[in-house]
Amino acid sequence: MNAVNDSFLSGADNGVLRLITAGSVDDGKSTLIGRLLYDSKGVFADQLDAISRAKYKRVAGDGIDFALLTDGLEAEREQGITIDVAYRYFSTPLRKFIVADAPGHEQYTRNMVTGASTADAAIILIDATRAADGKLLPQTKRHSTIARLLGIRHIIVAVNKMDLLDWDSAVFARISDAYAELARRLDISRFHVLPLSALEGDNVVHASPRTPWYDGPPLLSLLEQLGVEDSAAAGPLRFPVQWVARHGGDGPDDFRGYAGRVASGTLRPGDEIVVQPSGVTARVQEVLAFDRSVAAAVAGDSVTVVLDRDVDVSRGDVLSHADAPARVARAFEAELCWLDGQALNPARRYLLKHGTRLTSAKVREVLSQRDIHELQEVANATGMLTMNDIGRVTLVTREALALDSYADAPATGAFILIDEATHQTAAAGMVR
């Protein structure tokens, strides 16, 4: 049943996979990550000894409470919930993993957005005992919606606690069908559903004999084989300038370079570039990494760029290839996930952080809001967004920005809004 699609897997050099676990409270996210760490030999003996003696252990007898491997805060262990995003690292012979364990409470949805923003894959857990009738919980819908908005390419649906239902294949089929309908409505084209028990370890690292009706791989094998496309390297050149480097400024041949990190694309000496938003053009004379010249810099490289002539370039500007520039605008539409406890006030100004540029911005209009239950955009009658709301808005900024659609170039398609008074992050935004 539900064999994995061959196009979902890749046999190439698998590199590093960044993934996030999401779902409702008590779906077993922390336990699943703890089981992955334990079964892949990613836990030290002293860690096991420490959690075996923990006063908040919730497993009877000599059993291991795997959730304690990721829930490190005192409040998390006391309440048995995840509050903040916890990052864990482990590896197998085929791949290295960076795992973000996101909280399930609706109150902490903003923490999930933070963890998901850099993820290549999402594991969305569903508690089989709470969805046995095929009705998915609101947080499952909300987290799936966020994963879709953030462009996460691989979504794995882990139907957990199947051991409590005697591995009933009919229940698994109902949940699979329900998620397939959710994926259709959210336009999620790539997903895989598998049954497992995080506590017992069935179908986590090793295939379970209790699911002869499931012919797909266990979770770890699936994660090891996921193909992660480097879309940033293949995208258009975007080089946000972080710092202007000057040396020997009192001489006629003083050094002037522009330091930063290549957000997407490839930068080479000889490339014709345009400085955005000003629109001034120049040619790359040299690309420096530390104290040496390099033939090329790709997405993720931190370099200093020397141009063939003196032009006005400042922190916050973006260097793009002249034949593939970003869109320059002061007014644009975006999707906002509101993160602040204080609701959006359209009469107020906010600070907008886009790449290395910080400017002032105002939300001109709230166009619509996403209804998590109906899975569609609905009219926003109040003109406001409250914490965890997702809405489409129009913004106006004081300075022009070099923008891309988030789907095309996340580095220049993402931004945050900051409350000017409290300096709290008010919203995460995606340019549409």
Domain count, the chain: 3
Last residue of a domain, one of 228, 263, 293: 228
- The counts of H helices and E strands in the chain are 9, 22
Task: Please tell me the predicted confidence (pLDDT) of residue 11.
Answer: 45
Beta carbons within 8 Å of 242's beta carbon, 6+ residues apart: 259, 260, 261, 315, 356
Beta carbons within 8 Å of 119's beta carbon, 6+ residues apart: 18, 19, 20, 100, 150, 152
| pTM tops 0.85 | no
Within this chain, do residues 249 and 383 fall inside the same structural domain, yes or no? no
* DSSP structure class, residue 326: P
Total Cβ atoms within 10 A of residue 89 = 11
Within this chain, do residues 201 and 255 fall inside the same structural domain, yes or no? no
Residue 3 covered by a domain: no
Closest CA to 391 of 338, 343, 348: 338
Task: Please tell me the predicted confidence (pLDDT) of residue 191.
Answer: 93
The CATH number for 276's domain is: 2.40.30.10
Within this chain, do residues 202 and 311 fall inside the same structural domain, yes or no? no
Residue 11 covered by a domain: no
Within this chain, do residues 346 and 285 fall inside the same structural domain, yes or no? no
Angle between helices 138-149 and 169-186 (to 10 degrees): 40
Please report which helix (H) or strand (E) contains residue 231, including its range: helix 231-234
Q: Can you tell me whether residue 138 is helix, strand or coil?
A: helix
Residue 1 covered by a domain: no
Within this chain, do residues 140 and 285 fall inside the same structural domain, yes or no? no
8 A C-beta contact, residue 415 and residue 332 = no
Within this chain, do residues 193 and 170 fall inside the same structural domain, yes or no? yes
Q: Where are the alpha helices (DSSP H) in 160-210?
A: 169-186
Residue 246 covered by a domain: yes
Within this chain, do residues 29 and 121 fall inside the same structural domain, yes or no? yes
Residue 2 covered by a domain: no
pLDDT in tens, 108-150: 566 677 777 778 899 999 999 999 999 998 888 888 888 888 8
Task: Please tell me the predicted confidence (pLDDT) of residue 373.
Answer: 66
User: Which residues constitute the domain of residue 411?
Assistant: 327-431
Q: What is the Cα–Cα distance from 255 to 288, expressed in whole angstroms? A: 12
Q: What is the Cα–Cα distance from 410 to 423, expressed in whole angstroms? A: 24
Closest CA to 233 of 352, 361, 60, 410: 410
Within this chain, do residues 29 and 115 fall inside the same structural domain, yes or no? yes
Within this chain, do residues 303 and 341 fall inside the same structural domain, yes or no? no
What is the helix, strand, coil percentage profile of the chain, to 5? 20, 35, 45
Last residue of a domain, one of 302, 321, 340: 321
Within this chain, do residues 51 and 186 fall inside the same structural domain, yes or no? yes
Closest CA to 408 of 106, 151, 229: 151
Task: Please tell me the predicted confidence (pLDDT) of residue 337.
Answer: 87
* DSSP structure class, residue 220: H
Q: How far, rounded to the nearest angstrom, does the alpha carbon of residue 126 sit from its chain's CA centroid?
A: 20
The residues that bridge with 160 in the sheet, in sequence order, are 127
8 A C-beta contact, residue 274 and residue 284 = no
pLDDT in tens, 60-83: 445 555 555 554 443 333 444 444
Name the amino acid, one letter, at 354: H
Task: Please tell me the predicted confidence (pLDDT) of residue 378.
Answer: 82
The CATH number for 94's domain is: 3.40.50.300
Please report which helix (H) or strand (E) contains residue 30, including its range: helix 29-39
Last residue of a domain, one of 177, 193, 228: 228
Tell me the backbone φ, ψ of residue 182, rounded to 5 degrees: -60, -45
Within this chain, do residues 101 and 210 fall inside the same structural domain, yes or no? yes
Residue 155 covered by a domain: yes
* One-character DSSP codes across 340-396: -SSPP-TTS-EEEEETTEEEEEEEEEEEEEEETTTTEEE--SSS---TT-EEEEEEE
Closest CA to 35 of 73, 58, 12, 69: 69
* DSSP structure class, residue 3: P
Task: Please tell me the predicted confidence (pLDDT) of residue 98.
Answer: 87
Strand (E) positions, 161-251?
191-195, 239-247
8 A C-beta contact, residue 344 and residue 426 = yes
Residue 202 covered by a domain: yes
Closest CA to 333 of 401, 405, 427, 385: 405
Within this chain, do residues 141 and 159 fall inside the same structural domain, yes or no? yes
The residue ranges of the chain whose pLDDT is under 70 are 1-14, 40-86, 103-111, 229-233, 248-253, 372-375
Residue 6 covered by a domain: no
